[in-house]
């Protein structure tokens, strides 16, 4: 496989709450602007995404979301447990700040996994700034998805889930036998451990969370771009701590999108699905793997059904990523960029 196009420009953009956002550009400066949104929350900005837009025709823009990657302050720094400046609304505002900073009128927005949730939130908030949307491994981070990926999918991986749940039962009051509506959710138990004062427990929770990520996401061709689990002989680092903190923070709050669509007249609690009509007329391609057991295709199907004119591609042989999905991604972006 050829090397991704090189970075041609980069910088740090000050935004709200003392955050500074790291951004990069590649491709052609006067090409069609594209924006790439990484997964997580808290994921890495890896160079491979630059292969998925035509370098000779696109101005490829990407960033590390606040608290992640090269952006500062890092959510994984020791003692960095105050995440009050971390909501989806903050991330959407950061994207608008970056667009204005770079002088972009409108761009094609690409999102992978959690990045697809953020892409939808941004597009619903600023449809006039979006030329098209490409979503890969589609999520909306609604409560149904979060409870499935943290608890329901444990039915497929009972050995891994028992180990994952045991730490929360011992240290955070989670009770796997409690089925009441007001029970403590496992994701909330982990959020509390990861933002607590006991640094040893923080690292133990981060290690357990990253091991669970690998357990449920690996089925199907491709899987994650990089493994998450921390080897037993290796200490938990800033990346793992920040990833686990940000994921549990956003997921425990259902992605901060539970009432996202309310300002546009949808029913409370309808989330991103209730705001899809705002994307009518915007080209959209949703690419999802049938074998993505941690993120069932139901979400992609529902979003496609609520998005007039969108295209849904379900790749039967792959899961949460894979070469066929990447091929569809490249083709979709190339079509949107045009000749």
For 187-227, write each residue's pLDDT tens digit: 999 999 999 999 999 999 999 999 999 888 877 655 445 56
- Cis status, amide bond into 73, omega within 30 of 0: yes
b/e code 22-47 from CB counts within 10 Å (16+ = b) = bbbbbbbeebbbbbbbbbbbbbbbee
Spell out the domain ranges in the chain.
Answer: 7-142+256-337, 144-255
For residues 228-239, give the mean pLDDT. 74
Distances (CA, A) of 218 to 130, 222, 227, 289, 335: 32, 8, 9, 12, 30
Are the CB atoms for 289 and 326 separated by under 8 Å?
A: no
Instruction: Write down the mean pLDDT value for the chain.
Output: 91
**pLDDT (0 to 100) of residue 279:** 95
**pLDDT (0 to 100) of residue 227:** 60
DSSP-derived letter for residue 44 is -
Torsion on CA atoms 30, 34, 38, 39, rounded to nearest 10: 180
**pLDDT (0 to 100) of residue 261:** 47
Separation of alpha carbons 204 and 171, rounded Å: 11
- At residue 300 the predicted structure's pLDDT band, cuts being 50, 70 and 90, is very high
Written as one string, the DSSP assignment of 86-133 is -SHHHHHHHHHHHHHHHT-S-EEEEEETHHHHHHHHHHHH-GGGEEEE
For 36-82, write each residue's pLDDT tens digit: 999 999 998 999 999 999 999 999 999 999 999 999 999 999 877 78
- Give, in words, the CATH class of 7-142+256-337: alpha beta
Please name which of 242, 262, 245, 243 lies closest in space to residue 253, comparing C-alpha atoms: 245
**pLDDT (0 to 100) of residue 40:** 93
Give catalytic residue positions: 113, 292, 320
Separation of alpha carbons 265 and 70, rounded Å: 38
**pLDDT (0 to 100) of residue 265:** 39
For 84-98, write each residue's pLDDT tens digit: 899 999 999 999 999
Q: Are strands 284-289 and 130-136 parallel, antiparallel or unpaired?
A: parallel
Separation of alpha carbons 267 and 261, rounded Å: 8
- At residue 233 the predicted structure's pLDDT band, cuts being 50, 70 and 90, is low
DSSP-derived letter for residue 4 is P
CA dihedral (24, 108, 13, 260) positive or negative: negative
């Amino acid at each position: 496989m050829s090397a991704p196009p090189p970075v041609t420009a980069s910088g740090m953009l000050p935004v709200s709450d003392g955050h500074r956002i790291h951004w990069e550009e590649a491709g052609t400066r006067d090409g069609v602007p594209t924006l790439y949104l990484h997964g997580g929350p808290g994921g890495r900005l890896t160079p491979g995404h630059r292969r998925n837009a035509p370098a000779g025709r696109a101005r490829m823009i990407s960033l590390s979301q606040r608290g992640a990657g090269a952006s500062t302050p890092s959510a994984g720094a020791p003692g960095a447990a105050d995440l009050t400046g971390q909501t989806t609304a903050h991330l959407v505002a950061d994207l608008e700040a970056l667009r204005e900073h770079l002088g972009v009128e409108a761009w094609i927005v690409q999102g992978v996994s959690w990045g697809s949730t953020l892409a939808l939130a941004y597009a619903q908030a600023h449809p006039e700034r979006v030329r098209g949307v490409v979503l890969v491994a589609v999520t909306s981070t609604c409560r149904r998805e979060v409870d499935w990926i943290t608890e329901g999918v444990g039915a497929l991986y009972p050995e891994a889930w028992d180990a994952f749940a045991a730490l929360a039962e011992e240290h955070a009051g989670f009770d796997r036998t409690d089925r009441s509506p007001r029970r403590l959710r496992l994701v909330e138990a982990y959020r509390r451990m990861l933002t607590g004062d006991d640094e040893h427990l923080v690292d133990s929770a981060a290690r357990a969370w990253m091991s669970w990520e690998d357990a449920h996401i690996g089925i199907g061709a491709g899987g994650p771009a990089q493994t998450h689990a921390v080897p037993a002989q290796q200490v938990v680092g800033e990346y793992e701590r920040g990833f686990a903190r940000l994921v549990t923070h956003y997921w425990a709050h259902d992605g901060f999108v539970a009432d996202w669509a309310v300002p546009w007249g949808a029913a409370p609690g309808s989330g991103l699905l209730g705001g899809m009509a705002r994307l009518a007329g915007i080209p959209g391609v949703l690419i999802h793997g049938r074998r993505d057991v941690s993120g069932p295709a139901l979400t992609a199907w529902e979003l496609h059904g609520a998005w007039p004119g969108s295209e849904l591609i379900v790749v039967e042989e792959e899961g949460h990523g894979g070469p066929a999905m990447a091929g569809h991604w490249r083709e979709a972006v190339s079509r949107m960029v045009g000749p």
